[in-house]
């Protein structure tokens, strides 16, 4: 019985160590981020009124911050000036569709593809319906 407890404890510790290493290995330049927990990210920091919790976090981490909602990294922009700059000047970098494997398998990849010049030319050539 003690062996089972020991093995399960070692398994949980190895999962936690792996999760912590993955969060520290985020490459590239990313906005500041409050520390989160493995698997739930920063969900524990959002209260009953998430907009107020995010406002409090933005006071500490700045107008642009990275928050992990579960395992999904989410960039929060909390100032109007920064939001205007992001949505106007950098819209192609931040406002594209996600790449989903199900769309490719269902042959919807052509219509649900990220914004690219090749995507625009394909959409012009292929009609939406085959009636």
Mean pLDDT of 21-48: 80
Per-domain residue ranges of the chain: 33-95, 97-126
15: pLDDT strictly greater than 70: yes
Nearest-angstrom CA–CA distance, 100 and 48: 31
Mean pLDDT of 22-29: 65
Measured at the alpha carbon of residue 60, what is the angle toward residues 59 and 62, in degrees to the nearest 5? 70
Q: What is the mean pLDDT of the chain?
A: 78
Q: What is the pTM of this model?
A: 0.58
Q: Which of 62, 69, 30 is nearest to 46 (CA)?
A: 69
Lowest-confidence range among 22-36, 37-51, 58-72? 22-36
Q: Which of 42, 73, 77, 74 is nearest to 58 (CA)?
A: 77
Q: How many CA atoms lie within 13 A of 6 on its CB side?
A: 3
Residues 69-127: tens digit of each pLDDT: 888 888 999 999 998 888 888 777 776 666 666 666 666 555 566 666 666 666 666 66
Element (H, E) at 115: none
Per DSSP, the residues of 75-89 read: EEE-SHHHHHHHHHH
């Amino acid at each position: 019985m003690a062996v089972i407890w020991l093995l399960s404890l070692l398994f949980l510790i190895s999962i936690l160590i792996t999760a912590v290493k993955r969060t520290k290995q985020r490459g590239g330049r990313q906005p500041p981020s409050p520390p989160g927990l493995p698997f739930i990210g920063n969900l524990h920091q959002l209260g009953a009124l998430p907009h107020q919790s995010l406002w409090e976090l933005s006071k500490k981490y700045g107008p642009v911050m990275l928050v992990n909602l579960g395992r999904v990294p989410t960039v929060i922009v909390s100032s109007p000036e920064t939001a205007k700059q992001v949505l106007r000047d950098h819209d192609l970098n931040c406002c594209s569709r996600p790449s989903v494997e199900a769309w490719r398998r269902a042959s919807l990849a052509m219509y649900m593809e990220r914004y690219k010049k090749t995507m625009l030319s394909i959409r012009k050539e292929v009609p939406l319906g085959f009636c």
